[in-house]
């Protein structure tokens, strides 16, 4: 018998209590470190999102250098009366983000949903997708029932980045610019950089390019599953797909779709898809017309909304071609900092520390 056994000393090792204590300490450390790891990952994703927007803003300025104006947000094609509104700004910018093959493959004589443009419609362009919005990588396949399209089983590529159309959506989708005598008034009612039939020059941004939104975020994964089929199409020249407005503050919560919620009697679905939104906690990234990118918090100063209808109390809509109309701001009504940043020539004075 050994000396240790004769003295009654047990072999060395951890007791059950000691093991449980060690496990508990490890669990506490993991619980403390996991949020930090997740925060670091989100910071990296947000940094990539900022870089995407910077590239998009640079592409827009290269477009201006070539064409003298920013790209238009969409246009009316009378050759396709059933669905006349055609592709938007991102198609024109694709040639300036090293996607010349995509741009050259697009047949401008056909609607973007035509079979001949299917390859381009499916083209996923990485800088158009925020890495924090993972759902955008796997949108639902279209069926033959979707928009009377002729190519079922296609997965349309989406975008998280939308052009700034200003305070509201005007001119509105559905207006025929060739037959409506009031169309010039509707176009004059636009307040942003990129909208339907826009041709905005840099010199027209008299509020200053450093005080004017150019592109903002629009989340895809937070849309209702039933809405994801028809939103954020990267080629579409439509509000809610590639254009947003500042009528509602960033990341406004979706509401009961049965409620009239804005001056144009839009549904909650319409509100959320035309408002800026993101998968980043606390706000959204915006590229400004000078090429800079800033994080705009959800709490930014914004004009008031009616607590029941959610209509902006500062806005009046006058129908001149019902149901379409001209929006005006009530005399003396509050203009939020957020709204001021969306106009190109509102004349507002915005301090550098206001956003």
Alpha carbon of 244 to those of 42, 201, 226, 240: distances in Å?
24, 19, 20, 6
Share of the chain above pLDDT 70, in %: 87
Please state, in angstroms and rounded to a whole number, the distance separating the CA atoms of residues 234 and 44: 24
CB 234 within 8 A of CB 159: yes
Q: Residue 219: pLDDT above 70?
A: yes
How far apart are alpha carbons 92 and 75 in whole angstroms? 13
CA 289 to chain centre: 16
pLDDT(260) > 50: no
Query: What's the mean pLDDT in 238-250?
Result: 93
Q: Between 9 and 32, whose confidence is greater?
A: 32
> Mean pLDDT lowest for which of 209-213, 249-253, 280-284, 328-332?
249-253
**Residue 163 CA from chain centroid, whole number:** 8
Q: What percent of the chain has pLDDT over 90?
A: 55
* Higher per-residue pLDDT: 84 or 274: 274
- Let me know: does 73 contact 242? Beta carbons within 8 Å: yes
Cα separation, 251 vs 271, whole angstroms? 10
Residue 352 confidence (pLDDT): 77
Domain ranges of the chain: 33-354
Q: Please report the pLDDT score of residue 267 as a whole number.
A: 52
Beta pairing, strands 324-329 & 161-164: unpaired
Hey, CA dihedral for 93, 217, 229, 193, is it positive or negative? negative
Q: What's residue 5's pLDDT?
A: 47
**pLDDT tens track for 30-44:** 777 777 666 677 778
**pTM (2 d.p.):** 0.85
How far the first Cα of the chain sits from its last, in Å, is: 81
CA 168 to chain centre: 15
> Minimal CA–CA distance to 252: which of 214, 213, 283?
283
Angstrom distance (rounded) from CA 215 to CA 286:
6
Residues 55-93 pLDDT 10s: 999 999 999 999 999 999 998 877 776 677 788 999 999
Does position 145 have pLDDT exceeding 70, yes or no? Answer: no
Give just the sign of the alpha carbon dihedral 120, 125, 128, 132: positive
Q: What is the mean pLDDT of the chain?
A: 85
Distance CA 261, CA 264 (A): 8
The average pLDDT across 234-248 equals: 93
Q: Given this model, what pLDDT does residue 144 score?
A: 56
- Segment 298-309 mean pLDDT: 88
Residue carrying the six token digits 């790209």: 71
């Amino acid at each position: 018998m050994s000396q240790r056994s004769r003295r009654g000393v047990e072999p060395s090792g951890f007791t059950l209590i000691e093991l449980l204590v060690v496990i508990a300490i490890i669990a506490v450390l993991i619980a403390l470190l996991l949020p930090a790891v997740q925060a670091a990952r989100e910071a990296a994703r947000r940094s990539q999102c900022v870089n995407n927007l910077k590239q998009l803003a640079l592409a827009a300025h290269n477009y201006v250098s070539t064409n003298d104006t920013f790209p238009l947000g969409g246009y009316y094609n009378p050759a396709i009366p059933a669905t006349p509104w055609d592709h938007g700004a991102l198609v024109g910018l694709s040639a300036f983000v090293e996607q010349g093959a995509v741009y050259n493959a697009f047949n401008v004589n056909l609607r973007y949903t035509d079979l001949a443009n299917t390859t381009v419609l499916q083209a996923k362009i990485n800088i158009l997708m925020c890495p924090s919005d993972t759902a955008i990588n796997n949108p639902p396949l279209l069926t033959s029932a979707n928009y009377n399209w002729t190519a079922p089983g296609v997965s349309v590529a989406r975008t998280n980045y939308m052009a700034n159309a200003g305070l509201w959506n005007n001119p509105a989708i559905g207006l025929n610019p060739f037959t409506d005598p009031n169309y010039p008034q509707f176009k004059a009612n636009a307040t942003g950089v990129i909208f339907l039939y826009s041709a905005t020059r840099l010199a027209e941004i008299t509020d200053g390019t450093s005080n004017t939104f150019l592109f903002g975020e629009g989340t895809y994964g937070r849309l209702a599953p039933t809405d994801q089929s028809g939103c954020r199409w990267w080629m579409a020249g439509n509000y809610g797909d590639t254009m947003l407005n500042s009528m509602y503050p960033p990341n406004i919560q979706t509401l009961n779709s049965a409620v009239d919620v804005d001056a144009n009697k839009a549904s909650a679905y319409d509100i959320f898809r035309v408002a800026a939104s993101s998968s980043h906690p606390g706000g959204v990234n915006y590229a400004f017309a000078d090429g800079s990118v800033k994080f705009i918090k959800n709490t930014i100063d914004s004009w008031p909304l009616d607590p029941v209808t959610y209509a902006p109390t500062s806005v009046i809509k006058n129908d001149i071609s019902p149901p379409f109309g001209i929006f005006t701001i009530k005399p003396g009504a509050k203009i939020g900092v957020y709204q001021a940043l969306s106009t190109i020539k509102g004349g507002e004075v915005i301090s550098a520390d206001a956003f």
